[in-house]
Structure 1
Amino acid sequence: MATLREIELRLKSVRNIEKITKSMKMIASTKLAKAQRAMQAGKQYGLANSEVFDHVPSNTGDKKLFIIVSSDKGLCGGIHSSVSKATRRAFTGVESPIPGITVEADSPIAVIGDKSKNQIIRQLGENLTMTFNQIGRDIPTFADAAGVADLIVKSGVQYDSVYIVYNKFVSALSYEAAVMTVKGEEALKESDAFKIYENEDDGTKDLAEFSLANAIFAALTEGHACEQSARRNAMDSASKNATDMIARLQMQYNRGRQAAITNELVDIITGASAL
């Protein structure tokens, strides 16, 4: 049995934790509103990309590059595990997040964020070719996405299609892993919709890189909104658990204190009776 002093120290510690989690929940709620506004703006970039690639053949080339979008921060539940698990399922053939697409075992992987990097490296470390951190520490900007796209293009990794695995914002209480597809330069060149224009090679290359940056930016903003939502929900659950634990410890402390007082009264009465 824990002593009254130990219970009292435990109560003080849990109360301090409750204050911290409630403060973090309030901060996450404020950041979520900003993240949702940024997500709505970022979605416009993703919609523009989808309109472009609606006219691009889907069976051009077999080389695929996977980009996993997460972050460097924790305390937000299992949001980073969702994209990591979806990628592992695709590579192991259990359940592909891209219907009708076969994933080669040697397809390269680029990871944005240290959290998913540590999860992916355990099983798919040989496929990991690039990692990025310190991206979107506050609210992701297009400059962050453009920097990632530029490094990917300059890295020399060969790909015909890029599959961006990210967290899709469903509501303030839920999210799900989703995939966004971006075609490479060769796919754009082979498209009949683009052949009718007299495009220079540099123009097609720039368009492919710009489209990749657009898609990464859309995925970053939506993933950031999911992260803030998950962090708020995690801190809310932690605060409720702390409140329940405080109630249990307070009851245990009161019972122990009452037992100690009763024992002291018994000793006093026994001594008085002996006299």
Structure 2
Amino acid sequence: MPSLRDLRRRIKSIKSTQQITKAMKAVSAAKMRRAQEQVLSARPYARRMKDVLGRVATAAAGVKHPLLEVREPRRVAYVLITADRGLCGGFNANLIRRTVQETKNINAELSLVCVGRKGRDYFRRRGYNIAQQYVGLGETIKLSHAQEVARYVMDKYAAGEFDAVYLIYSEFVNVLVQRPKVVKLLPVEPPEGQENGEGKPGRVEYIFEPSAESVLSELLPMYVENMVFHGLLESKASEHSARMTAMDNATKNAGDMIDRLTLSMNRARQAAITKEISEIVGGAAALE
């Protein structure tokens, strides 16, 4: 059995760790609330952008654009969004596992665009082809971050270096649930247009100024940038939620460990007192 001194040291050490995890939980909770507000504010815009693209692309059927060009997927890229730091439960591990599953049986040249240090470090150690990396984006996601990532993959796709691009991020469901999600970035696949009141796809005739090609040249890059931006926001909210939950569990586990060690310490102290009393009684009996 450990000595009283060892037990006291362990209890002191765990209490210090518990204070750290409690503080990290409070910080993550504050950051999570801000990130959650950003996600909830961005979702209506993302849905409306998708709806507009679907209707405009349907009306401009037949118009050619480099981002709409479908090619045989000989060179496939995955944009993986992970965190720069750990201590967030299975957040990073789930995203990495999903990426490995998606790329396991792929019959094409694979490239990774890693956003976040954890994903980059994992796949770099295993010899994957990392075409580009973006680390240290900070706690506040800006549109410029998404534009930089989107511009890189769009340029590569337009140049023929990528034949298909997929985005892997963590979808924020609620504080306790974050779900890895895979969406196709390129080639852009316009969603179907809205249905009319009779349940049939409705088609609206648009007049394009100056031309349908010019409108799509503006709309398609904005759509890709918005998808990347939305993925970054979702992942950031998921990261803070996962870290808050992990730190909450760590704080509770530390409390349980302190209780068990305190019980062991009390037993050890009681045993030491009993032993001393026994020695005193035995010594007194020997003097008689």
1:60 aligns with 2:63: no
User: 1:44 — aligned with what?
Assistant: 44
User: 2:265 — aligned with what?
Assistant: 253
1:240 aligns with 2:252: yes
Choose 1 or 2 for highest CA Rg: 2
Query: Shift of residue 152 of structure 1?
Result: 3.6
1:129 and 1:121 map into 2 onto residues whose CA distance is 11
| Bigger Cα displacement from structure 2, 261-270 vs 159-168 | 159-168
Tell me the number of residue pairs that the alignment of Structure 1 and Structure 2 aligns: 259
1:110 aligns with 2:113: yes
Match runs of 1:162-181 below 5 Å: 162-181=165-184
Please point out which of 129, 132, 141 is paired with 1:130.
Answer: 132
User: 1:15 — aligned with what?
Assistant: 15
Query: Shift of residue 77 of structure 1?
Result: 0.8
| Bigger Cα displacement from structure 2, 213-222 vs 173-182 | 173-182
1:158 aligns with 2:170: no
Q: Answer whether contact 2:95 2:180 (CA < 8 A) is retained.
A: yes
Residue aligned with 2:118, SS: helix
Structure 2 vs 1, CA of residues 148 and 222 (structure 1 numbering), >3 Å: closer, same or farther? same
Query: Shift of residue 104 of structure 1?
Result: 3.7
| Bigger Cα displacement from structure 2, 253-262 vs 150-159 | 150-159
TM-score w.r.t. the length of structure 2 is 0.80
Residue aligned with 2:28, SS: helix
Query: Shift of residue 183 of structure 1?
Result: 3.4
Residue aligned with 2:150, SS: helix
Amino acid at match of 1:272: A
| Bigger Cα displacement from structure 2, 160-169 vs 68-77 | 160-169
2:71 and 2:155 map into 1 onto residues whose CA distance is 20
Q: Answer whether contact 1:53 1:183 (CA < 8 A) is retained.
A: no
Where structure 1 has 5 or more consecutive residues not aligned to the other structure, the ranges are: 94-102
TM-score w.r.t. the length of structure 1 is 0.83
1:70 and 1:194 map into 2 onto residues whose CA distance is 42
Residue aligned with 1:107, SS: strand
1:231 aligns with 2:243: yes
User: 2:124 — aligned with what?
Assistant: 121
Amino acid at match of 2:180: A
Percent sequence identity over aligned pairs: 29
1:219 and 1:246 map into 2 onto residues whose CA distance is 40
Query: Shift of residue 119 of structure 1?
Result: 2.2
User: 1:30 — aligned with what?
Assistant: 30
Where structure 2 has 5 or more consecutive residues not aligned to the other structure, the ranges are: 62-67, 191-203
User: 2:201 — aligned with what?
Assistant: none
